[in-house]
Amino acid sequence: MFGGESLTTIDAKGRTSIPAKFREVLTSCFVDERFVLTKSSPVDFDDGSFGRGLSVYPANEWQELEKKILANEGGLPLAQLNSLKRLVLGPAQECSVDKLGRVLIPPALRLHANLERDLYFVGMGRRFDIWAKETYARVNAQDERNFPQDSAALAALGI
């Protein structure tokens, strides 16, 4: 499982190094270094703007997700399902790391997530996310506002 946060950079050509611990998880837990980059779920900042990042799925996890979306296992209304397909399936790109552990993030995805220099890799269990440093600070602030206050629910999760 992917866990932790890692601050790194992206170069002018759009290359960044996948953290070694994430590369290790790809090969040890998912038995494949291939992965899919796509747009992440937007984070509503409650001011009319959204935080936009990228989600990275191991190839086999992506295949399962894609099947579920195409079969509409969530039972979404058609308009929401089509939005999900356009925002998640449409921009998806299969990638792998080079000999130096770097990945080239496609220009459209870099632009979407505003990846210019400093960025965070964030472990999310069966996937990891990539955020511009400034955006991730705002996402964290929003997460603190959204954090569950139900102590029984948190205790049931072991938190």
CATH code at position 118: 3.40.1550.20
Vertex 74: Cα angle to 33 and 44 (nearest 5): 80
Please give the model's pTM, rounded to 2 decimal places: 0.93
Q: What is the rounded average pLDDT of the residues 55-76?
A: 96
pLDDT digits (tens, 9 = 90+) for 111-125: 999 999 999 999 999
Whether residue 105 is contained in a domain is answered as yes
| Residue with the larger pLDDT of the pair 28 and 118 | 118
Task: Give the end-to-end CA distance of the chain in Å, rounded to a whole number.
Answer: 18
Whether residue 153 is contained in a domain is answered as no
Using alpha carbons, select from 33, 37, 15, 23 the residue that is nearest to residue 119: 15
Whether residue 113 is contained in a domain is answered as yes
Whether residue 158 is contained in a domain is answered as no
Residues 6+ apart with CB under 8 A from 48: none
Write the single-letter amino acid at 47: D
| The total number of structural domains that make up the chain | 1
Structure tokens at 56: 């990275």
